[in-house]
Structure 1
Amino acid sequence: MNKKAAIIAGVAIIGLVGAFALGGNKKKSQDTALEANASMKIVHSLGETDVVKNPKKVVVFDYSVLDTMDALGIENVVGLPKATLPESLEKYKDKKYADLGALKEPDLEGIKSQNPDLIIIGGRQADFYDQLSEIAPTISVNKDNKDYLGSVKKNIDTVAKIFGVEEKAKEEFAKAEKKIEELNKKVKEQDINALTVMVNEGNLSVYGEESRFGILYQSFGFKSKDQNIDDSTHGQNVTFEYLAKQNPQVMFVLDRGVAIGKSESAKSTLNNDMVKSMDAFKNDKIIYLDGTTWYLNDGGLNSLNTMIDDAMKAVNK
């Protein structure tokens, strides 16, 4: 081959290589774009919704989901209801996040102005589902009182799937499960019975094994002192005489006033002779639960650990 022919051949080869490289880069860009725009079908408590993978602008009305997103480092939140934010989520009071109404009264116009790619709600916003779905794809998460921990895991897995962080979610949930196993073992060894009491402006209500606080019994291992509690949403109203008669080894107390931003009232309400006659009082086994966690954002990836730590006080005291 003469010198001129060699040069021509070399140029041709370089051109072919360049063409293949450009073609490969173009295909890679196309694949990336397709992946970014890919959607998935999310089955949730109110139906099925097609959701774009890793949505960039997300409105969140369920604090447990916000808690999970925060734990997983997902920074795609553009707005939320700020009025009753738990202390653990106070960073979302920053002005860069839009304030979009109250937990039970979403600001529909405000939400629309954010042009979200996804809206995530909970049971408190169920009545607004159709209106919200007209603004953007909307999914609803809830917790099953009969299988509390299982439904919590499902919600965490759903968030992880949407944002492509399944492995991290799996690792973090496994850590929580290990803590639960350790707690359950200690509770079972000590054979501890308990009552869960909510104090609301002087009124008392108790919650059983299939209530919103059922994780204490289903997963943490405590035995409900009263097996016949009516597990309604707002609990079963009771008296101080009832508490003294049941006389549980441990009494878990949630102060609803603190949970919704009002002044503390549970300790003063329970400061009476009947309560002081109970074994739980005498043995320093009245456990005051973290109100905002248990009442507003229970079952998030971070808040689940707070719940475990609260319950652990019953066996470590």
Structure 2
Amino acid sequence: MKRTLTGLLALLGLALAQVQIQHELGTLTLNAPAKRVVVLEYSFLDTLLALGVNPAGAATGTQGGDRGVPPYLRPRAAGVPSIGSRAQPSLEAILAAKPEVILADAFVHKDLIPQLGRIAPVVAFQSRRGSFEDLNQQVLLIGRLVDKEAQARQILEDQERLLQKARAFANPKAPPVLLGVATPNSFTVHSNESFIGSLLERLGRKSLAKPQNNQSQYELSLEGLLALNPATLVLFTAPDETPIVRSWAKNPLWQRLEAVKRGRVYEFDRDNWTRGPLATRLILAELIDSGLLADQPPASRYAFKP
């Protein structure tokens, strides 16, 4: 009887310690919270660092066109081992990190997931293609994964208070905003279902672009941009690149844009506008400081300079 009772208590303890995570691939069940986690996306790195947890490895390299860990995360991520880049993670480096769980992007890493699964269980989320609410839900699930769910809830509660404060700056009569990432070779619109588009709508500014072909982000030409003709245009660029919009600005079509006529073309450093609770705090500050929420002319630091 004593042995049976001991066994039942042990089973009960195991059940209480179990962790279940629902994600894009199904449900992951662990017998205990994960202590060694490898992350293949910046939002996962941001979230773990916000929770006070250092990953066993992170995709912070610059291979495959990736720009490396965002500047705002560098001080916190200084001691985190790199396992390659998001575009080209190293299976050997991941194996050497001895992960208990690998956090992957369901879209970016879909072809790599079978190989990753032979190293450790994979939890896949929609990070780059996820909405603001998607990312918030991931904060809670990652918190549960590493036994920091209470801290995750507190982070989101604090974030909600900041959102309410930022919303007070929004001009409800302002026209819709078009958001786009400009690289040297492309201009990619982020719709109202993207992370930043849905966040902006939460703050009281409407996003002009809607999804196309079930994609929350898609490329647009200068002619396509003119067809939408936004009254407010937000450009996300990198400080060490010459984005395609610099050459577009020399085209007479550019001057026909309503946003150009109104003086409402804003430019932000895209490396600071990733995803996760730490990034969100920075984004909210820049949305207020730039004048974008209030539909004011961009502060000089955020004004697009062709």
Aligned to 2:284: 308
Matches within 5 A, 1:209-248: 209-211=192-194, 213-216=196-199, 218-225=201-208, 232=215, 234-239=217-222, 241-244=223-226, 246-248=228-230
Q: Does the alignment pair 1:265 with 2:281?
A: no
Aligned to 1:207: 190
Q: Does the alignment pair 1:60 with 2:39?
A: yes
Shift of 1:161: 1.3
User: Out of 140, 159, 163, which is 2:124 matched to?
Assistant: 140
Aligned to 2:300: none
User: In 2 relative to 1, CA 227–192 (structure 1 residues): closer, same or farther, beyond 3 Å?
Assistant: same
Q: Does the alignment pair 1:70 with 2:49?
A: yes
Q: Does the alignment pair 1:289 with 2:289?
A: no
Shift of 1:253: 0.8
- Structure with max Cα Rg: 1
Shift of 1:170: 1.8
**Are the counterparts in 2 of residues 208 and 230 from structure 1 also a CA contact under 8 Å?**
no
In 1, Cα distance between the equivalents of 2:211 and 2:16?
51
Structure 1 residues 212-221 or 130-139, which shifts more? Answer: 212-221
User: Out of 227, 232, 238, which is 1:250 matched to?
Assistant: 232
Shift of 1:127: 1.9
In 2, Cα distance between the equivalents of 1:114 and 1:37?
28
Task: For 2:284, give the aligned amino acid.
Answer: I
Aligned to 2:22: 43
Percent identity, please: 20
**Are the counterparts in 1 of residues 18 and 32 from structure 2 also a CA contact under 8 Å?**
yes
SS in structure 1 at match of 2:19: strand
In 1, Cα distance between the equivalents of 2:210 and 2:120?
44
User: Out of 105, 110, 116, which is 1:122 matched to?
Assistant: 105
**Are the counterparts in 1 of residues 194 and 217 from structure 2 also a CA contact under 8 Å?**
no
Matches within 5 A, 1:64-103: 64-75=43-54, 77-83=55-61, 84-91=68-75, 94=78, 96-103=79-86
Shift of 1:197: 2.3
Please tell me the root mean square deviation across aligned C-alpha atoms, in Å: 3.3
Deviations 1:53-83 (A, max 9, x none): 34222211121011011112113x2212222
User: In 2 relative to 1, CA 165–193 (structure 1 residues): closer, same or farther, beyond 3 Å?
Assistant: same
In 2, Cα distance between the equivalents of 1:229 and 1:132?
31
Shift of 1:52: 4.6
Deviations 1:101-122 (A, max 9, x none): 2213221122112222221111
**Are the counterparts in 1 of residues 24 and 126 from structure 2 also a CA contact under 8 Å?**
yes
User: Out of 141, 147, 158, which is 1:158 matched to?
Assistant: 141
TM (norm. structure 1) is 0.73
SS in structure 2 at match of 1:289: strand
SS in structure 2 at match of 1:115: coil
More helix by share: 1
Shift of 1:231: 5.9
**Are the counterparts in 1 of residues 183 and 242 from structure 2 also a CA contact under 8 Å?**
no
Deviations 1:94-140 (A, max 9, x none): 4x533212213221122112222221111322222222222122211
User: In 2 relative to 1, CA 227–114 (structure 1 residues): closer, same or farther, beyond 3 Å?
Assistant: closer
**Where does structure 1 lack aligned partners over 5 or more consecutive residues?**
1-26
Q: Does the alignment pair 1:198 with 2:189?
A: no
TM (norm. structure 2) is 0.75
Deviations 1:172-198 (A, max 9, x none): 212222333344454352333111123
Task: For 2:27, give the aligned amino acid.
Answer: E
Structure 1 residues 300-309 or 241-250, which shifts more? Answer: 241-250
In 2, Cα distance between the equivalents of 1:202 and 1:138?
33
In 2, Cα distance between the equivalents of 1:290 and 1:79?
26
